[in-house]
Amino acid sequence: MNDSKYVYLDNAATTPMDPRVIEEINKHFKENYGNSMSLHSVGQKAAQILVKSRETIASLINAERDEIFFTSSGTEADNIAIFGVTAKNKNRGNHIITSAIEHHAVGHPSEELEKKGFEVSVLPVDKGGLINISELEDSITKKTILISIMFANNEIGTIQPIKEIGEIAKKHDIIFHTDAVQAFGKIPIDVKKMNIDLLSASAHKLYGPKGVGMLYIKNKGVRKGWGKFIEPIMYGGGHEREMRPSTVNVPGIAGFARAAELAKEEMQSEMERHTKLRDRIIKWVTENIEDSYLNGHPTKRLPNNVNLGFKFIEGESIVLDLDMEGIATSTGSACSSKSLEPSHVLLAIGLKPEEAHGSLRVTLGRFTTEEDVDYLLRKLPPVIDRLRKMSPLKKGVKYMFADSSNEHHH
């Protein structure tokens, strides 16, 4: 193995762009500089590229072309979904339902709504990270207008029972939004079969460019008995059919479409390949490194997500030590966040704060090879060993892990 090798295993944070996507974007930067709203031919060419891109992206989730609304990010799409639906329907009801493991792009807007007088039910999750369907149904009231539950979690990769959630939403005539930023292009999504009304996605998690996202809006936001059920959160020009003003990022969107196209072609084979690598890492680490365990669900998880816990040590140190070995990973430890709180997702699945501090997330990508995994499995044990030698916790009888610390004394 080459010493200058850098193994990128943080694909849930963002992905490197696929060279085929870069090629596509460069082409459009050079040739299609027009404003898609302009009447002249350069503008119209840009508008045509937009239409084609919409079509490609829609086909990945079995949506109709005009149900795709481009945004600048997944976060923006989540914000439009949540604030757009609640603002439009506040006379109909003031209650929304979400889960304890949402990304902040859904969690924080929900908290804002609460400050403005909305009621928010936050569903707990089990040890594997799954919501309980009957609990969801029980929390529905006459005032419920929106359910927002993520498709797959960014930290532990848990895939929610989206079809069942969609059925419940349909039965009670409630709008169903799902943040599919991690799932889009990685696992099959069918907005029709799953009864999804709103879905957020982002290009940069899929080997596409940063700064490009989209919101799928069922039937362009018109619903029987509701009329228009969503309104914009920004006002300006009439771009994206009055839903999201600002001059459209045509080259970026063309890159997003190319990325979606490639994801569709390679989805089946990549799912199989990633699942094998994922399970190999989980099995090897939990069998060969003492006091390590898997966080999240063993099977209902994204093929590319591994989240491991290591007792007695702290995740930020693991991440930085691995980085020095040329491996990029991430952690839910408080030390890596500005809030100094450990990950809300890891706490929601029942981890103690000191356990959440010792988490390591490894997320595979299109460019991850078998050799990369070999390299990780070779470099990880000495890192864990070194940090444990440094740690006072192994004998910390009074603090935690009482069962495994009895043989030690202080």
Which residues does residue 247 pair with via DSSP β-bridges, in sequence order? none
Under the binding rule (CB under 8 A), the answer on residue 353 touching another protein is yes
> Measured between alpha carbons, how far is 130 from 103 in angstroms, rounded to an integer?
15
The residue with tokens 């009304």 is 197
User: Which of 133-141, 173-181, 187-195, 332-340 is the region at the interface with another protein (rule: CB under 8 A)?
Assistant: 332-340
Alpha carbons within 13 angstroms on the beta-carbon side of residue 394 total 13
- 21's enclosing H/E stretch is helix 19-31
Under the binding rule (CB under 8 A), the answer on residue 291 touching another protein is no
Of the candidate residues 144, 317, 329, 368, the single one contacting another protein (CB under 8 A): 317
Q: How many angstroms from the chain centroid is the CA of residue 209?
A: 16
Under the binding rule (CB under 8 A), the answer on residue 290 touching another protein is no
Q: Which long-range contacts (CB under 8 A, 24 or more apart) does 261-266 make?
A: 261/56, 262/18, 262/20, 262/21, 262/207, 263/60, 263/184, 263/185, 263/186, 263/206, 263/207, 264/59, 264/60, 264/185, 266/366
Under the binding rule (CB under 8 A), the answer on residue 143 touching another protein is no
Under the binding rule (CB under 8 A), the answer on residue 314 touching another protein is yes
Of the candidate residues 357, 364, 368, 376, the single one contacting another protein (CB under 8 A): 357
The residue with tokens 């859904």 is 106
Min dist CB 353 to another protein, Å, is 5
Under the binding rule (CB under 8 A), the answer on residue 390 touching another protein is yes
> Measured between alpha carbons, how far is 303 from 388 in angstroms, rounded to an integer?
30
Under the binding rule (CB under 8 A), the answer on residue 399 touching another protein is yes
Q: Is the CB of residue 183 less than 8 Å from the CB of residue 302?
A: yes
Residue spans of alpha helices (H) in 325-369? 344-348, 353-356
Largest CA distance in the chain: 80
Min dist CB 395 to another protein, Å, is 9
Min dist CB 382 to another protein, Å, is 15
User: Which of 76-84, 89-97, 240-248, 327-335 is the region at the interface with another protein (rule: CB under 8 A)?
Assistant: 327-335
- What torsion, rounded to 10 degrees, do the Cα atoms 166, 167, 171, 174 define? 0
Under the binding rule (CB under 8 A), the answer on residue 347 touching another protein is no
User: Which of 150-158, 198-206, 311-319, 375-383 is the region at the interface with another protein (rule: CB under 8 A)?
Assistant: 311-319
Of the candidate residues 104, 143, 170, 352, the single one contacting another protein (CB under 8 A): 352
Of the candidate residues 125, 214, 230, 334, the single one contacting another protein (CB under 8 A): 334
> Measured between alpha carbons, how far is 140 from 146 in angstroms, rounded to an integer?
10
Min dist CB 331 to another protein, Å, is 9
- 384's enclosing H/E stretch is helix 370-390
Applying the rule CB under 8 A, the residues between 183 and 222 that interact with another protein are: none
Residue 371, Cβ density class (10 Å: 0-12 exposed, 13-18 middle, ≥19 buried): exposed
Q: Annotated catalytic, 135?
A: no
Residue 138: Cβ within 10 Å count? 11
Min dist CB 357 to another protein, Å, is 5
Under the binding rule (CB under 8 A), the answer on residue 409 touching another protein is no
Q: In this complex, which beta carbon is closest to another protein, that of residue 167 or of residue 316?
A: 316
Catalytic residue, chosen from 42, 187, 335, 400, is: 335
Residue 213: Cβ within 10 Å count? 28
Under the binding rule (CB under 8 A), the answer on residue 119 touching another protein is no
Q: In this complex, which beta carbon is closest to another protein, that of residue 67 or of residue 355?
A: 355
Min dist CB 410 to another protein, Å, is 8
Min dist CB 13 to another protein, Å, is 18
- Per-residue x/- track, 43-82, another protein (CB under 8 A): ----------------------------------------
Q: Output the six-digit token pair for 82.
A: 């949540």
Binding-site ranges for another protein (CB under 8 A): 312-314, 316-317, 320, 333-336, 338, 340, 342, 352-354, 357, 389-393, 396, 399-400
Kindly list the catalytic residues: 335
